[in-house]
Structure 1
Amino acid sequence: MKFIFAIAFIGILGALAAAGLFMLKNGRKEQRGANMARALAVRVGVSIALFLFIWISYSLGWIQPTGIPVGR
């Protein structure tokens, strides 16, 4: 399960880095903006998919919360 989360986080960071590179890249402004917007849309999509996967995993009991117990 941790492997899936790690891959998703790497994908999110990769899409963010790609958007940054498209922003700094020389070239036509229209194409640069379209590529940057596409990379940011991918980042948002992967982030939403990761959130939903965590939520469903918790609901099905595949993952359990940890940390400081309530009431301490």
Structure 2
Amino acid sequence: MTYLVIIAFIAILASLGFALYYMLRGGQEGDAKSKRMAKALAVRVGISITLFACVLLAWQLGLIHPTGIQAGQ
């Protein structure tokens, strides 16, 4: 599970990097670059939602356990 989270964070950062690259790289193909930037940001949102769903599923299945302050203490 740890490796999945690390890979997902790297993919999120890469997607943000691609979006930044397409945003900064203007030029004559402004519309095509804008679509690429929007697609990169959509991929980032999709990866983030998938990661969140995987963490919730792992918690529900008992694969991971929350740590910290116990309730009622």
Structures share a fold, TM > 0.5? yes
Aligned-partner Cα distance in 2 for 1:54–1:43: 17
Q: CA deviation at 1:71?
A: 3.1
Aligned-partner Cα distance in 2 for 1:10–1:21: 16
Percent of paired sites with the same residue: 46
Aligned residues: 72
What value does the CA root-mean-square deviation take over the aligned residues?
Answer: 1.0
- What residue is the counterpart of 1:43 in the other structure? 44
Aligned-partner Cα distance in 2 for 1:10–1:68: 30
- What residue is the counterpart of 1:22 in the other structure? 22
**SS of the residue 1:17 aligns to:** helix
In the alignment, structure 1 segments of 5+ residues that lack a partner are none
Instruction: Report Cα offsets for 1:6-64 as digits up to 9, x if no partner.
Output: 10011111101110110001331101100000000000000000010001000000000
Aligned-partner Cα distance in 2 for 1:45–1:67: 29
TM-score normalised according to structure 1 size: 0.92
In the alignment, structure 2 segments of 5+ residues that lack a partner are none
Aligned-partner Cα distance in 1 for 2:3–2:68: 20
**SS of the residue 1:65 aligns to:** coil
